[in-house]
Structure 1
Amino acid sequence: MIRKIVLLLIVMLVSVSFTAATASQDNGYTTVPVKSDPTITPRWVSETITQGETNWHSRTVSSYTTLHHIDLNWGDASDSLRLKVYSPSNQLIGTFYDNSDGVIDGRINIEITNSDGIEIGTWHHEVYGYSVTGTEDYYI
């Protein structure tokens, strides 16, 4: 009986962990990990970061869309960066780590969607050197 309960709890935890890695929803926005394709690397800003450092990036959404794609890629799984995404009204949409998509690969590749439309204005992306040895190059 105890083994069955333990097995059931393990299955439930794995199921919750998988769901958290595949999609999350907050205040009308849904965040879905994007399967990384190493042949497609849409770079728009190249930067460096060190342990404990914070860099801010922004992107303007100027017309109606239902999708906001963010690809933070540093490629070195031995270092860890954290990404926080804020809407133009300064709402924290989410905090993401390398494993947010279920894979530790030196990349946070997500899509934020809202069927009612992504808020128009300047979106802010906070990149933090969560666990970095030396200096880490990245693009976002």
Structure 2
Amino acid sequence: MAILVCALVLISGVSALNVDKSAGYSVTPTGNLYLPAVMSPMTVGTITTGQTNWYSLVIPAGKSSLTMDLNWGYIPDSLSLTAIAPDGTLGPYYDAADGVTNGRIFLTISRAGGIAPGTWNFKVYGVSVLGTQSYNFVTY
């Protein structure tokens, strides 16, 4: 039991420092709530175990970063978030990827020279959900 607890602590600690270098991107926890003047409309959805919901966003040339915020707030349920850029796939990311287990995945994607312009797709997946779980999803 003690080994399991230590493993979980180490996993969440490593996740808080997660930097995904796929296609040169860095994916890091978003430590504070920053609401820019321009953001995509917040999507409100529901999901069940095994269900996938898709969202997309067109990114203009010259954008240096993108923040994704999936918030369901109910810790016993598990959702994942994957970002599919025009030049690669980032994720899937789970609750502790942002350093906190709180029913939220709050991450910023960046890359030296800017992120790829074009259509980005986002996959919200119900890993383990009791019944139906509602959530909010926003990118900016």
Question: Which TM class, normalised by the smaller chain length?
Answer: 0.7 to 0.9
* 1:49 paired residue among 31, 44, 47: 47
1:91-110 matches, within 5 Å, as: 91-110=88-107
Cα separation, 2, equivalents of 1:26 and 1:125: 16
Please state whether the residue corresponding to 2:119 is helix, strand or coil: strand
Q: Which runs of 5+ in 1 are unaligned?
A: 1-9
Please state whether the residue corresponding to 1:27 is helix, strand or coil: helix
| Equivalenced residues, count | 125
Aligned to 2:64: 66
* 1:126 paired residue among 88, 100, 123: 123
Q: In terms of Rg, which structure is larger?
A: 1
Cα separation, 2, equivalents of 1:126 and 1:58: 9
TM-score with structure 1 setting the length: 0.79
- 1:35 deviates by 2.3
RMSD: 2.3
- 1:78 deviates by 1.2
Please state whether the residue corresponding to 2:55 is helix, strand or coil: strand
Please state whether the residue corresponding to 1:64 is helix, strand or coil: coil
Q: Which runs of 5+ in 2 are unaligned?
A: 1-5
Q: Render the CA deviation track for 1:60-86: whole Å, top value 9, x for unaligned.
A: 102311101100001111111011111
- Partner amino acid, structure 1, of 2:28: V
Cα separation, 1, equivalents of 2:12 and 2:46: 31
- 1:139 deviates by 1.1
- 1:107 deviates by 0.2
Identity, % of aligned positions: 37
Contact residue 15 and residue 96 of structure 2 kept, 8 A:
no
